Amino acid sequence: MNKIVKAGVIGGIIYGLSEVCFAMGKGHILGVLITGEDEKVLTPSELLDSISDDNSLTGRIITKYAKYEKEKILRELEAKKVFQKMES
């Protein structure tokens, strides 16, 4: 009986970790898409807003990671522009 309980607990932990990693991956790609918005039917920013309205844990993880990724990419682009300006 203990073996079955242990296997269930370990399986549950692995499942939970994989869900968090998948949500982080979705947030990562959403953050990347936000930095390169074009004229489309639904922009990534609108998509992020609609996801952030969801109160589920997965939705919150995706939203937070997407916003983090957006800020990270924008900082990198700004640093690159400043560096290029200093070189010329």
* Geometric angle at alpha carbon 27, from 63 and 34, rounded to 5°: 85
On whether the pTM is more than 0.85, the answer is no
Residue range 55-73, pLDDT digits in tens:
778 778 878 888 888 888 8
- Residue 63: per-residue pLDDT: 82
Q: How far apart are CA 50 and CA 86, in angstroms?
A: 40
Cα–Cα distances (Å) from 46 to 33, 41, 43, 75, 81, in that order, read 11, 10, 5, 22, 27
Return the CA Rg of the chain: 19
Percent of the chain surpassing pLDDT 70: 86
Tell me the pLDDT band of 32, cut-offs 50, 70 and 90: low
- Residue 35: per-residue pLDDT: 66
